[in-house]
Chain A
Amino acid sequence: MAQRQSYQIGTGLFIVLGFAALAYLATQTTSLANYRQGDSYTLNVEYTNIGQLKLRAPVKLAGVRVGTVSAIELEADKLQAKVSLAIDRRFNKIPDDSSAAIFTSGLLGDQYVSIQPGGSPDSFKDGDQFVLMQNSMQLEELIGKYLVGQGDAGKPGDKGSAKNEVQPEAKPDQKLEQKPEPKK
């Protein structure tokens, strides 16, 4: 009898452990982790181009996650994308002249909304709309600009600026990438 008890406890432990692992994998390492919504309030932004921004993408302020993208819809009359951001109640002191930009994490990463705080003494309230925004940077657009700038020999200034735009960005990046290589 004692033996029967012990293996039953062991089996129970195994099953609980297994389901705990499943729960851990499902909630802590997947997008469900981002879905954890406490009390939040909604802010709206209108973009002309949101790129690859998806539902539930993170909203960050100074790099810290403060909320998620809760809705994306097209405003038929203005032909603009209306993006709703669900911001955690705890972060209720965001100045109402802040801007909301769509950035890409890393070169190939997902896109997210980054809030750049302004200096206004007043804070956003539920349902407010951002006045300042920055559209998603499209890689194709950048490349296109670069190619057009290079092809247009009549405007040296443009060409220079295009180069300046791309190269400083690329160079430190490459250096960063090179860093781990010497250890090989």
Chain B
Amino acid sequence: MNARMRAAGKIPSRFTEGLAQIGACGIFGLQVLVAVPRSLRHFRETIRQVWFVGAMSLVIIMTCGLFVGMVLGLQLYDVLSRFGATAASGTVVAFALYRELGPVVTALLFAGRAGTSITAEIGLMRATDQIDAMEMMAVDPRAYVVAPRFLAGIIAMPLLACLFNALAILGAHGVCVSWLGMDNGTFWSNMTSNIDVWKDVINGVWKSVAFGAVCTLIATFQGYTTAPTSEGVAYATTRTVVFSSIATLALDFVMTAFLM
């Protein structure tokens, strides 16, 4: 009886807690946006973060891109051959990549690779009082620590997504043309006559810009507000991956609806 009452009371409190988290994250996002112009003074720090979140994620992004492209090429060639439309293999691979898989898979990998390390880094800075120390030295950590990472995420994500796509196209080309014997000219000409720069490539870039902003915002927020214990940092990194993935996919749906 008592336990049940407690459980009943917990559901709304969890719900409001979740709302409060979203609200806090939103407010944090606004504060970071306000801090962005001030952070431009430390632009060197932003460059350093582009190196950490972008360049250091290159290997995983490019490897995964290659494999995703190869799998897509293999699968689509097989499926399309049932309709006698193998000529469209490259095109369908490109459509799938540019519009969806490129931005989304890159964002998910980014959350796992760069997002977690951002959270852990800021979380440890919080746990070892480095964030407080900056505040005490009259340096706004939002401008010095968070904003450069946020900017770096926005800069790095679309570039990573483009590299992912490029490698995936090459992977699909390798499978379809070199292995399955599709005609090289058909592969490219079919693609070039169907893919549109603005509708397909650039829209995908917009998506990954948005994903970059959301993923780094969540990662920095989780690190910034973490409980200053080792357990707290561990929870925060987990939450970064979970929330980034959910936010990416939900935002993907909304953006697809608007960009179509």
Cross-chain contact of B51 among A10, A18, A177 (Cβ < 8 A): A10
Name B143-177 residues within 8 Å CB distance of A. Answer: 155-156, 158-160, 162-163, 165-166, 169
**Whole-angstrom distance between the Cβ of B90 and the nearest chain A Cβ:** 8
6 smallest CB-CB distances across A and B, nearest first, come from A18-B159, A177-B84, A14-B55, A21-B162, A21-B166, A33-B192
CA distance A17 to B86 in the complex (A): 31
* Given known A-B contacts A25-B165, A181-B81, A18 and B47 have beta carbons under 8 A apart: no
Q: Does B36 reach chain A (CB closer than 8 Å)?
A: no
Q: Tell me if A11 and B169 are in contact (CB < 8 A).
A: no
**New contact pairs (17) apart from A22-B205, A105-B87, CB-CB < 8 Å:** A7-B47, A8-B47, A17-B163, A19-B162, A21-B159, A22-B158, A26-B201, A29-B191, A31-B197, A105-B190, A107-B84, A109-B87, A110-B193, A110-B194, A180-B78, A181-B81, A181-B82
Q: Tell me if A31 and B86 are in contact (CB < 8 A).
A: no
Counting chain A CB atoms within 10 Å of each CB, the highest count among B55, B188, B193, B202 belongs to B193
Name B42-89 residues within 8 Å CB distance of A. Answer: 47-48, 50-51, 54-55, 58, 78, 81-88
CA distance A109 to B84 in the complex (A): 11
CA distance A109 to B88 in the complex (A): 8
Q: Which residues of B contact A (CB under 8 A)?
A: 47-48, 50-51, 54-55, 58, 78, 81-88, 94, 98, 155-156, 158-160, 162-163, 165-166, 169, 188-197, 200-202, 205
CA distance A173 to B83 in the complex (A): 10
- Residues of A with C-beta under 8 A to B163: 17-18, 21
CA distance A14 to B51 in the complex (A): 8
Name A21-65 residues within 8 Å CB distance of B. Answer: 21-22, 24-26, 28-34, 57-58, 65
The residue of chain B having its C-beta at the shortest distance from the C-beta of A173 within the complex is B84
Q: Tell me if B165 and A177 are in contact (CB < 8 A).
A: no
Q: Tell me if A176 and B84 are in contact (CB < 8 A).
A: yes
Number of A-B contacts (CB under 8 A): 120
The residue of chain B having its C-beta at the shortest distance from the C-beta of A63 within the complex is B185
- Residues of B with C-beta under 8 A to A32: 192, 197
CA distance A11 to B200 in the complex (A): 27
- Residues of A with C-beta under 8 A to B47: 7-8, 11
- Give the dominant DSSP class at B's interface: helix
- Residues of A with C-beta under 8 A to B201: 22, 25-26, 29-30
* Given known A-B contacts A30-B196, A58-B189, A10 and B55 have beta carbons under 8 A apart: yes
**Whole-angstrom distance between the Cβ of A9 and the nearest chain B Cβ:** 10
Name A166-184 residues within 8 Å CB distance of B. Answer: 173-174, 176-177, 180-181, 184
Q: Tell me if A31 and B192 are in contact (CB < 8 A).
A: yes
Q: Tell me if B81 and A180 are in contact (CB < 8 A).
A: yes
* Given known A-B contacts A14-B55, A107-B85, A109-B87, A29 and B169 have beta carbons under 8 A apart: yes
Cross-chain contact of A30 among B58, B78, B86, B192 (Cβ < 8 A): B192
- Residues of B with C-beta under 8 A to A184: 78
The residue of chain B having its C-beta at the shortest distance from the C-beta of A24 within the complex is B166
- Residues of B with C-beta under 8 A to A58: 189, 193
Cross-chain contact of A7 among B48, B169, B196 (Cβ < 8 A): B48
* Given known A-B contacts A10-B55, A14-B58, A30-B192, A106 and B85 have beta carbons under 8 A apart: yes
CA distance A10 to B48 in the complex (A): 10
11 pairs from A and B in contact (CB 8 Å cutoff): A15-B155, A18-B54, A18-B162, A24-B166, A29-B195, A29-B201, A30-B200, A65-B189, A105-B87, A105-B193, A180-B81
CA distance A22 to B157 in the complex (A): 12
* Given known A-B contacts A11-B55, A34-B192, A29 and B94 have beta carbons under 8 A apart: yes
Q: Does A142 reach chain B (CB closer than 8 Å)?
A: no
CA distance A30 to B188 in the complex (A): 9
CA distance A22 to B205 in the complex (A): 9
- Residues of A with C-beta under 8 A to B48: 7, 11
Cross-chain contact of B87 among A13, A24, A106 (Cβ < 8 A): A106
